[in-house]
Amino acid sequence: MSTKYIFVTGGVTSSLGKGIICASLGRLLVARGLKVTVQKLDPYINVDPGTMNPYEHGEVFVTDDGAETDLDLGHYERFLDIRTTQTNNVTTGRVYYDVINKERKGAYLGKTVQVIPHITDEIQSHVLKLGQSGNYDVVIVEIGGTVGDIESLPYIEAVRQLRYNVGRANTLSIHLTLIPYLSAAGELKTKPTQHSVKTLSESGLQPDILVCRTEYPLDESIRGKVARFCNVDLEDVIESIDARSIYEVPLLMQKEGLDTRVIEKLKLETHQPDLDQWIQFVDAVCNPSHEIEIALVGKYVEHHDSYKSIVEAFVHAGAMNDVKVSIRWIQSDNLDTNNVAQALSGVQGILVAPGFGGRGIEGKLSAVQYAREQKIPFFGICLGMQCAVIEYARNVCGLTEANSTEFDETTPHPIIDIMYDQKNIENMGGTMRLGKYNCSVIPNTFAYHAYGTDQVQERHRHRYEVNNEIRSVLSDNGLVFSGLNPERDLVEIVEIPQHPWFVGVQFHPELRSTASNPQALFVAFVKAAKKQAGFE
């Protein structure tokens, strides 16, 4: 069977949840035994989102192979329980970068290099790369942006050509659109969808299926109107109504027949979907026995998407522990030793988040100190772990001026220091210690109990590290290095044994948590917080 391609475009407005629809369709096809991956095409000029501010773009999702990618890849991994790679995310910046590099090497043999065909060919070759790997029955391609945007045009044109090149029967075009409800008129309105489909069709791409986001159920007459005006069959108008949880969306899409329409149109051979585990998971997410509250201390908390994978890892770990984890968002800029007790009172766990730069550091340090002294379960991730180490050095080891050289280059006690291979780096993009590295876990530690094994691999994104030259002061004073990178002897996990649960990790465990395989440290942290709440 040759690889089938499903292209998903979005219309009317952004933020309709195209990533969730792609991930949900992917889940349904995986549940039918197909091998599926999802690719995101992003129409911006950055080569990748790695250099973008979290306010701008939300979380940067790092893959096993060290690519800094769009946060939608996180949804794909969490829903499909797959691993994505650099190939799964392509931006306009990357496409142009590759084309310009080829041009400099003379690869175009003196031709004028143009958007059509050179840029559109390059886009096609990026899409085909996944199919040509031979690993997939279906590649779902999410096209970022909204139909009608100038930036999206080369992508739509590339898809139009690609449908022709690989054969119409091997491709499908799905358009995600909005049917808004006008309360003054008391009606759902189809006109924006009609216009969006018209714009798409003018570019040569007629959708085969319309997925319609709506706050209210779509009755037969609305569906009929959409079908008629947009030139699709009635059964190809799929309602996507607001769900209780994003993880319910695959089930709602199945009820609407999205997967059946797709397999019929693409003539895919599949078995009946096996969704038992997924149904159980959604039930656990939507009907937990208890609720606990965990503080998330960070400097980008106004923008929850900055911590997307952490939030989702809590959903997975919560379902596993039969609790709902509600997050108390704490802005670290406003936190200090005077108000920390009040700000964090009543929470059953404290997570200090990843981040870059010195803003809000003292607030994070006071949150660590509070968790350590009040014996509240604590989880420090990347910068959060570095804060835990600085706090320990200052308040337990007595090195009151200990710091990271990221915030104070002249500190007398650089307990966190830049990695030697990062010292002379000038280019910011893609140059951190990125991606999957080994970690040996020491037996009889919180980390070992959580993982149940002494060899793990986790993803990284950082330039600084516990300073090996002076790290013995920490262990001499009781901090346990429970995880080490065997190749470079770097500290990966620290913990305090005389505590209900106090763990800091240099890596990003949240990036490997999926609905079907919740990340072990998150599960253990939530379990400890549940115990702290007295639910056990």
Q: Which residues bind ligand GLN (CB under 6 A)?
A: 354-356, 382-383, 406, 461-464
Record the tokens describing residue 267, joined without a space: 């003539």
CA atoms within 13 A on the CB side of 499: 28
Cα 46 to the center of its chain, rounded Å: 18
Q: Give the residue with the Cβ less far from ligand GLN, 129 or 463.
A: 463
| Dihedral, CA of residue 421, residue 382, residue 519 and residue 341, to nearest 10 | 170
Positive or negative torsion for Cα 517, 520, 525, 527: positive
Q: Give the residue with the Cβ less far from ligand GLN, 296 or 323.
A: 296
CA dist., res. 70 & res. 90, Å (int): 9
Strands 171-178 and 209-214 come out as parallel
Strands 464-466 and 480-485 come out as unpaired
Q: Give the residue with the Cβ less far from ligand GLN, 356 or 535.
A: 356
How many residues in total does the chain contain?
536
> Minimal distance in Å, beta carbon 479 to ligand GLN?
18
> Minimal distance in Å, beta carbon 356 to ligand GLN?
4
Q: Which of 22, 212, 230, 382 does the annotation list as catalytic?
A: 382
Sheet containing 433-441: which strands, arranged edge to edge? 323-331, 290-298, 349-352, 378-381, 502-505, 490-495, 480-485, 433-441, 455-462
Cis? peptide before 117, omega within 30° of 0: yes
> Minimal distance in Å, beta carbon 510 to ligand GLN?
11
Q: Give the residue with the Cβ less far from ligand GLN, 262 or 385.
A: 385
Cα 253 to the center of its chain, rounded Å: 21
Q: Give the residue with the Cβ less far from ligand GLN, 354 or 360.
A: 354
Residue 382 falls in the annotated catalytic set:
yes
Catalytic residue annotation: 382, 508, 510
